[in-house]
Structure formats: C-alpha cells, structure tokens
Amino acid sequence: MAKILVIAEHDGATLNPSTAKCVACAAQIDGAEIDIAVLGSGVAGVAADASGLDSVNRVLTVDNDSNDPAIAAIWAPQVVALADGYSHVFGPSTAFGKDLMPRVAALLGVNQISDIMSVEGPYEFKRPIYAGNAVVTVKAPAEHPVIATVRTASYRAVDGGNSAAVEDAGVDVDLPSHTRFVELQTGASDRPDLQTAAKVVSGGRALASEENFELIYKLADTLGAGVGSSRAAVDAGYVPPETQVGQTGQIIAPDLYIAVGISGAIQHITGIKDAGTIVAINKDEEAPIFEIADIGLVGDLFSIVPELTDALS
Ligand SMILES: Cc1cc2nc3c(=O)[nH]c(=O)nc-3n(C[C@H](O)[C@H](O)[C@H](O)COP(=O)(O)OP(=O)(O)OC[C@H]3O[C@@H](n4cnc5c(N)ncnc54)[C@H](O)[C@@H]3O)c2cc1C
C-alpha cells in the first residue's frame, strides 16, 4: 500500500492552500495512507489546520527554532529522516517546493518527478513538458521512494472537516550550517495572493509605464482580485517580478483571469491554462490571447479598462 508523506507549506501561522492540493493529488492513489509533515517553530496552529484536511491520516510535527524561517537546506535532511517508511513524499510545485524537494531527492539519491498533473497509478504520473505544450507519462521505479512536486494548478484543495491525529515526530539529525537566513525582501501588498486568488487581473507591455499600471490596480481592487503581469511588463520595470505569470513566473488557476494588453505568448499562456474564465482586452484582434480567451474585448485598454472599472464600481 502507498504511504505518502506530504510536506506542508506555511508561513508559520497559516497553512498554504498548496498543501491541501498536494493531499488531493496523493488521494488519487488508490488506498493511499496520507500523512502531513509540518516543520517549523511554534507550529501547533498550522498542524491543527493540516489535521482538518480530508483524507489525512496523521500530522507529524517537527517543532524546532532552526526551522523558522523555512530554509530548504535545513529542512531537507529532516524530511529525509521523516521519509523513512514512506513510499512517496510530495511537496507543492511552488517556489517553496521547488527549492526543497530536489534537495530531498538528491539526499535520497533518487530522481525527482516534477509537476505531477495527474496520477495514472501509484508509480505512474502525467506531467507537462515544453512549457505545457506536451504531456508526458512518467513511470517511477517501485523499489525507491517517489519524491515529487505536485502542480497545484491541476488540483482542487481537499475539503476540511477531518480531525487527524497530531504527533510530535521528534526528528534528530545534524542540521547544516552553511546556509542561513539573512533577510526577506518582498513587495508588501494587501491584494489577494496570486496563487490563491479567485480572480486575477494582469497587465502587459501595452500599459507602457509603472504609472499606467494604476489602471490595473484599480480594476483589480474593484473586483477584489490579485494583480499579475506578463514578463515584458516586469522586464520593463512597470511591476515587481513576483507578479509575473507564466512559464518563468507563477502558474495560477483563478476562476477569472483578465489579461489586459497581453499578446498571449505561449510562455504566458502556460501560466493560465487551468484558469476558469479568461477575458482578454487587446487592440489587435489577431492577438494569440484571443485563441484561448472565453471573452474577448477588442479595443484600446486605456478606454476599456476605466469604463469597465466604473461600470463595476
Ligand atoms: C524562456 C522564456 C520564458 C518566458 N517566460 C515568460 C513568462 O513566464 N511570462 C510571460 O508573460 N512571458 C514570458 N516570456 C516572454 C514571452 O515570450 C513574451 O515576450 C511576453 O509574454 C510578452 O509580453 P506582453 O504580452 O506583455 O507583450 P507583447 O507581446 O509586446 O504584447 C503586447 C500586447 O498589447 C497589445 N496592445 C498594445 N497597445 C494596446 C492598447 N493600447 N490597448 C490594448 N492592447 C494593446 C498588443 O496588441 C499586444 O498584443 C518568456 C520568454 C522566454 C523566451
């Protein structure tokens, strides 16, 4: 029987929804027994959240000051110790998981499977390649633990309502000292996080300046949406890099995605393939974004966006 350990992503206070999506992926494996590992410092609240997730058998906590903030180099040997006896270890395909899981795989001497988008069997998974233009089926050898990241945009979070047992895992391993936390630099924003926002408004190169991006912020605030961007807008310095959506940015799956002045390059589309309804505003009716848009508005964004914002206010 598959025994799966999911590594919880959290900020010390709140469980990131990516964890519930990893559990949804793990639950696709027939008869899987699913535990969640919560590493951190003072993680009782996060562990309680994790124990509420459907399909979870146990929550294992590793409460240690060295685990806060989360540094992949320090977490990895502890995850390896926890992995003993598990057939699979899953983490989210977020910046957190992409940092941690390859280290876990390397320490265990196995290959990592990246971006699981569906489970075909306990050791067989589908994952996207070539920026999502093709899907490949990967078979992992059953004699080694499967270390994998889960493409969170492909899964809906499992529901709550469970009350799994919470246990102290008591891991005792030597922690590396070569990597230490210096400082976290992040663009503070009250807007919804891109990964979890139900609605996202993104702007592209067409906005032409940081000041003009105010139009995107206004529309987003009117809708209660997160703010995204194309790489061209980031490269031009109109918006910070954490807003970038796409192959080298964030892969997101909001219910509503509004692309404003974005052409629809394949690298951008990769980031929004799983969005519910896609609305595109572009003055070029031939723009590739219209090929995937559910609703297209052809015209000048500088008149459409203010009109739309006013109409929705
Ligand atoms: C390896 C690699 C990785 C990449 N990763 C990413 C990624 O993660 N995310 C990403 O977004 N890109 C990525 N790119 C870049 C990508 O190829 C495109 O260059 C980029 O997405 C283009 O951004 P854009 O649509 O804002 O700009 P453009 O392609 O310049 O499009 C601007 C659009 O705005 C429209 N427009 C202009 N003026 C107006 C107006 N007044 N009103 C309405 N519409 C108007 C134009 O018709 C045009 O369609 C990557 C590229 C490479 C090579």
Q: For ligand 1, atom 15, which residue shows the shortest CA distance?
A: 231
Higher per-residue confidence, 161 vs 190: 161
Atom of ligand 1 nearest to the CA of 301: 42
DSSP state of 14: S
Atom of ligand 1 nearest to the CA of 262: 25
∠ CA 92-160-101, nearest 5°, is 15
The pocket around ligand 1, CB under 6 angstroms, is made up of 204-206, 230-233, 244-249, 261-263, 265, 267-268, 271, 281-284, 287, 300-302
Q: For ligand 1, atom 45, which residue shows the shortest CA distance?
A: 261
- Name beta bridge partners: 297: 281
pLDDT digits (tens, 9 = 90+) for 145-171: 999 999 999 999 999 999 999 999 989
Ligand 1 center from residue 136 Cα (angstroms): 27
Asked whether the beta carbons of 149 and 98 are under 8 A apart, the reply is yes
In angstroms, what is the C-alpha Rg of the chain?
A: 21
146-150 and 88-92 strand pairing: parallel
Cα separation values, 51 from 46, 57, 75, 143, Å: 9, 8, 21, 29
Q: For ligand 1, atom 27, which residue shows the shortest CA distance?
A: 205
pLDDT digits (tens, 9 = 90+) for 202-257: 999 999 999 999 999 999 999 999 999 999 999 999 999 999 999 999 999 999 99
Report the C-alpha gap between 58 and 198 in whole angstroms: 29
Question: pTM (2 decimals)?
Answer: 0.86
pLDDT digits (tens, 9 = 90+) for 6-56: 999 999 999 999 999 999 999 999 999 999 999 999 999 999 999 999 999
